[in-house]
């Protein structure tokens, strides 16, 4: 569902490794299924751990030796990093690949400072613009200050650090106030796995109630409603899944099924989202 | 848990009604069993007066509002049983409205009466269905004996019904007539993708003047029916008097369970849950399988529906 083309430059912000999967697993899969070479650069994570993550996503690095490489960043100099990426990308082209897919941990920038980070992101964008590469930069929310994260949002063209999932029919963003998720689009059985994953990570991330803004949902089927209810009923006592701005017909469906009385679920219509 | 009991009771006077209903209700209360009475407002009044103080311990509903359509009625019974799940026996006195119903609705309600023998088989419900022979036609009274395994006149004892029909046979006869062909002027489209089904239906419903909410609900119903049927399929839509109708036809497919979608969803997801939702949202859902494929026909109220 990711579908990235050479030249694109995205980012993913995460609080635990499970949140990388929805973005990175399709990113790597697509490259291997297509005609790209894949480079995964780690910083604080041991390469063996990253290799383990890939295996967990159903990607066997051994089976793609020479095509999928996991390596540790050997430098903190943005110029050297981009030079190495440029060389790897052009070598991939010479070997007959369409482009280099790069993903890397950006935690080094916390040590080096914002100027280095900006220099890297700007230079790497120039490399991507030449059409030989594309990339997803990984930002660990636990180490980056919120100010830096919102700055990064500007640097990653057309991307959004709060974006959890960007499918053909559904977009899932994290929200900070109220804490939870914003859903935009249509939810059917094809999107349920992504929704369930995003809900589970919001439940792990937030200590209290988890809000889901339904105001831009134009369609949701029974399987989507079930994913919401299952998440709500699995919450510990005292926590709720709060559905905000629920469209009238969706509220009616929830009532018909009897899920308006499900433990842990609160359904609010209209603009009740702002009146707590 | 006790075995499910489903009895008809044909009565021709208020006194005969009370001779059956009062012992049935009183025995249940004496046993500490939940008792639900859903009948006409006239019979609720009669029974209330006869029961005196005891009436305050009886769950009640005016029958026209306790499940407006058959799938809603069957669901209401199942839910009443689930809400009283601590009991081995739950009593229900259930008298549908028969007078003034269209031929199609009479058939649908007879079909449900027969279906309840299957749908409620795994419950401990004892249900008596009174039939007022002063009001219902001979055809309805005769079919009551085909759709209920036994008949009770006193709310305590019963004799087997000699003409009781196997529910699947009875329902098969109810479904024997093919669906009317779509009229000229219906719009149809071959659709490969499930998300095109809901878009087509929502757009056609809006174009025919349904409110945003009604169009959205019909689109959900069509989507769920299409999920049950599978794709590719051909969707067709047209207007009838008072109704917007949507056909979904899938060649080479057959739906074998005539009661699919009458049981409300539980904690575990089942394939028929979506069809249940379609049956809750629509006024009519007809399913027909033949040698060349299967059609699900959904009908909802048309744009000129007045709600007061």
Q: DSSP readout, B48-64?
A: HHHHGGGGGG-EEEEGG
Task: Examine the domain organization and report whether B151 and B196 are in the same domain.
Answer: no
Interface with chain A: mutation pick from B223, B226, B275, B300, highest number of A CBs within 10 Å: B223
The mean predicted confidence, pLDDT, of chain B is 96
Say whether A248 and B213 touch across the interface (CB within 8 A): yes
**Which residue from A108, A69, A62 is spatially nearest to A85, judged by alpha carbons?**
A69
The predicted structure's pLDDT at residue B89? 98
Distance from the Cα of B213 to chain A's closest Cα (Å) equals: 6
pLDDT score of B280 more than 70: yes
Domain count, chain A: 2
Domain end, chosen from A133, A161, A189, is at A161
pLDDT at B285 over 60: yes
| Alpha-carbon gap, residue A204 to B268, rounded angstroms | 24
**Residue A51 in domain:** yes
Which of the listed residues B118, B145, B174 is the one where a domain comes to its end? Answer: B174
| Chain-chain contact of B277 with A253 (C-beta, under 8 angstroms) | yes
Residues of A in Cβ contact (< 8 Å) with B273: 222
Half-sphere exposure of B269 (CA within 13 A, CB side): 12
Cα–Cα distance between B228 and B279 in angstroms, integer?
A: 12
Residues of B in contact with A222 (CB under 8 A): 224, 265, 273-274, 277
Nearest CB to A222; choose among B198, B212, B224 = B224
The CATH number of the domain holding residue B203 is 3.30.565.10
3 state SS of B42? helix
Contacts A258 to B, Cβ<8 Å: 79, 264
> How many domains in chain B?
2
Q: Are B300 and B244 a contacting pair, CB within 8 Å?
A: yes
CA distance B48 to chain A (A): 30
* Measured distance CA(B267)–CA(A151) in Å, rounded: 45
> For A158-186, what is each residue's pLDDT tens digit?
556 688 888 878 999 998 889 999 999 99
Same domain, A143 and A179: no
What one-character-per-residue DSSP string does chain A give? -----TT-EEEEEESSGGGTHHHHHHHHHHHHHTTEEEEEEESSS-HHHHHHHHHHTT--GGGGTTTEEEEE-----HHHHHHHHHHHHHHHHHTT-SEEEEEEE-THHHHH-HHHHHHHHHHHHHHHHTTSEEEEEEEETTTS-HHHHHHHHHHSTT--TTEEEE-SSEEEEEETTTTEEEEEEEE-GGGHHHHHHHHHHHHHH-SS-EEEEEEEEEEE-HHHHHHHHHHHHTSPTT--EEEEEE-HHHHHHHHHHTGGG-TTEEEEETTGGG--
B145 and B39 in a common domain? yes
Domain contains A82: yes
The token pair that represents B220 in the structure block: 């959900």
Asked if A33 and A155 sit in the same domain, the reply is yes
Let me know whether B156 and B205 are in one domain. no
- Tell whether A94 is covered by a domain: yes
pLDDT higher than 90, residue B217: yes
What is the reported pLDDT for A5?
A: 81
Check A249 against B220: CB less than 8 A apart.
yes
User: For residues A179 and A190, is the Cβ–Cβ distance under 8 A?
Assistant: no
A63 and A110 share a domain?
yes
- Shared domain check, A140 and A35: yes
Domain region containing B236: 187-301
Residue B306 domain-assigned (yes or no): no
Structure tokens belonging to residue A248: 């009238």
Task: Give pLDDT < 70 ranges for chain A.
Answer: 1-2, 153-161, 271-276
Determine the structural domain holding residue A37 and report its residue range.
Answer: 9-161
Residue in chain B lying closest to A249 (CA) = B213
Q: Same domain for B215 and B160?
A: no
- Mean pLDDT over B76-85 rounds to 96
CATH of the domain at B29: 3.40.50.300
Give the pLDDT confidence score for residue A271 in this predicted structure.
Answer: 52
Q: Is residue B19 part of a domain?
A: yes
Residues of chain A found within 8 Å of residue B216, distances taken between Cβ atoms: 219, 247, 249
Regarding whether A123 and A22 lie in a shared domain, the answer is yes
pLDDT tens per residue, range B29-50 = 999 999 999 999 999 999 999 9
> With an 8 Å Cβ cutoff, are B195 and A252 in contact?
no
- State which of A115, A132, A161 marks the end of a domain: A161
A54 and A124 assigned to the same domain: yes
Q: Which residue, of B146, B174, B202, is where some domain finishes?
A: B174
Answer yes or no: do A176 and A222 share one domain: yes
Domain with A256 in it: what CATH number?
3.30.750.24
Question: According to the model, what pLDDT value does residue A212 have?
Answer: 98
Query: What mean pLDDT is predicted for residues B239-268?
Result: 95
A157 & A201 share domain? no
By percentage, how much of chain B surpasses pLDDT 70? 100
So what's the pLDDT on residue A272? 42
| Predicted pLDDT at A254 | 97
Instruction: Tell me: pLDDT of B126 over 90.
Output: yes
Whether A1 is covered by a domain: the verdict is: no
**Could A252 and B217 be called an inter-chain contact, meaning their C-beta atoms sit closer than 8 Å?**
yes
d(CA B115, CA B94): 14
CA distance B119 to chain A (A): 18
Q: What is the pLDDT of residue A276?
A: 32
Q: Do B217 and A249 touch (CB under 8 A)?
A: yes
Neighboring chain A residues of B195 at a CB cutoff of 8 Å:
169, 186, 188
Select the residue of A169, A221, A248 nearest B220 (Cβ to Cβ).
Answer: A221
pLDDT average, residue stretch B226-254: 96
A25 and A50 together in one domain: yes
Residue A177 pLDDT: 85
pLDDT for A74 equals 84
Maximal C-alpha separation, chain B: 62
**Contact yes or no for A256 and B280 at CB 8 A:** yes
Strand order in the sheet with B35-39: B59-62, B35-39, B90-94, B125-132, B5-11, B150-151, B159-160
Question: Residue A73: its pLDDT value, please?
Answer: 87
Task: Based on the fold, state whether residues A110 and A178 are members of the same structural domain.
Answer: no
**Tokens standing for residue A46:** 């041991």
**Residue B232's pLDDT is what?**
97
Amino acid B222: pLDDT: 98
What pLDDT is attached to residue A158? 52
- Residue A55 falls within a domain, yes or no? yes
Report d(CA A248, CA B125) in Å as an integer: 35
> Is A219 in Cβ contact with B213 (below 8 Å)?
no
**Last residue within a domain, chosen from B145, B174, B203:** B174
- Provide the pLDDT for residue A143: 85
Whether residue B13 lies inside any domain: the answer is: yes
Closest approach of A264 to chain B, Cα-based (Å):
15
Give pLDDT, residue B245: 98
CATH assignment of the domain containing A130: 3.40.50.300
Q: Do residues A67 and A17 share a domain?
A: yes
Q: Does one domain contain both B11 and B117?
A: yes
Q: Sign of the CA dihedral A20, A21, A22, A27? A: positive
Using CA atoms, how far apart are residues A222 and A192, in angstroms rounded to an integer? 10
């Amino acid at each position: 569902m990711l579908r990235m083309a050479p030249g694109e430059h995205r980012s993913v912000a995460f609080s635990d490794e499970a949140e990388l999967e929805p973005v990175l697993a399709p990113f790597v899969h697509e490259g291997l299924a297509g005609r790209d070479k894949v480079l995964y650069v780690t910083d604080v994570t041991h390469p063996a751990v990253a290799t383990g993550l890939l295996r967990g996503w159903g990607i066997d690095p051994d089976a793609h030796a020479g095509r999928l490489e996991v390596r540790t960043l050997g430098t903190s100099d943005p110029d050297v990093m981009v030079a190495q990426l440029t060389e790897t990308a052009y070598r991939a082209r010479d070997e007959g690949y369409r482009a280099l897919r790069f993903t890397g941990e950006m935690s080094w920038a916390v040590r080096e400072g914002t100027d280095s980070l900006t220099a890297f992101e700007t230079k790497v964008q120039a490399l991507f613009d030449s059409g030989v590469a594309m990339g997803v930069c990984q930002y660990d929310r636990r180490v980056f200050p919120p100010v830096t994260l919102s700055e990064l949002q500007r640097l990653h063209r057309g991307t959004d650090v709060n974006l959890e999932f960007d499918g053909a029919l559904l977009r899932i963003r994290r929200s900070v106030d109220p804490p939870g998720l914003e859903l935009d689009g249509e939810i059917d059985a094809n999107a349920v796995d992504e929704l369930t994953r995003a809900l589970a990570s919001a439940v792990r991330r937030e200590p209290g109630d988890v809000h889901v803004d339904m105001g831009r949902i134009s369609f949701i089927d029974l399987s989507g409603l079930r994913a919401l209810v299952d998440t709500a009923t699995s919450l510990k006592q005292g926590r709720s899944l709060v559905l905000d701005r629920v469209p009238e017909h969706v509220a009616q469906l929830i009532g018909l099924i009897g899920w308006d009385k499900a433990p842990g679920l609160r359904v609010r219509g209209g603009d009740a989202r702002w009146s707590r | 848990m006790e075995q499910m009991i489903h009895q008809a009771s044909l009565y021709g006077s208020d006194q005969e009604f009370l001779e059956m209903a009062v012992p049935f209700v009183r025995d249940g209360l004496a046993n500490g069993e939940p008792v639900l009475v859903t009948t006409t407002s006239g019979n609720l009044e009669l029974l209330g007066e006869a029961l005196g103080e005891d009436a305050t311990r009886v769950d009640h509903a005016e029958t026209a509002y306790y499940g407006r359509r058959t799938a809603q009625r069957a669901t209401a019974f199942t839910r009443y049983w689930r809400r009283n799940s601590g009991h081995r026996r739950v009593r229900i006195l259930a008298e549908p409205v028969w007078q003034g119903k269209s031929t199609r609705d009479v058939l649908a309600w007879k079909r449900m009466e027969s279906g309840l023998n299957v749908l409620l088989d795994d419950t401990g419900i004892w249900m008596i269905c009174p039939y007022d022979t002063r009001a219902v036609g001979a055809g309805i009274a005769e079919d009551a004996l085909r759709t209920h395994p036994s008949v009770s006149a006193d709310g305590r004892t019963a004799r087997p019904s000699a003409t009781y029909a196997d529910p699947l046979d009875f329902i098969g006869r109810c479904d024997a007539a093919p669906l009317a062909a779509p009229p000229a002027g219906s719009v149809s489209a071959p659709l490969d993708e499930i998300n095109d089904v809901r878009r087509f239906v929502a757009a056609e419903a809006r174009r025919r003047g349904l409110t945003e909410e009604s169009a959205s609900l019909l689109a959900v119903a069509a989507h769920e029916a299409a999920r049950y049927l599978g794709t590719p399929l051909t969707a067709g839509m047209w207007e009838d008097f008072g109704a917007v109708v949507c056909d979904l036809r899938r060649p080479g497919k057959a739906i074998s369970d005539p009661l699919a979608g009458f049981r409300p969803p539980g904690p575990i997801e089942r394939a028929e849950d979506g069809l249940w939702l379609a049956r809750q949202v629509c006024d009519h859902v007809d399913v027909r399988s033949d040698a060349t494929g299967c059609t699900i026909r959904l009908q909802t109220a048309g744009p000129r529906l007045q709600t007061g």
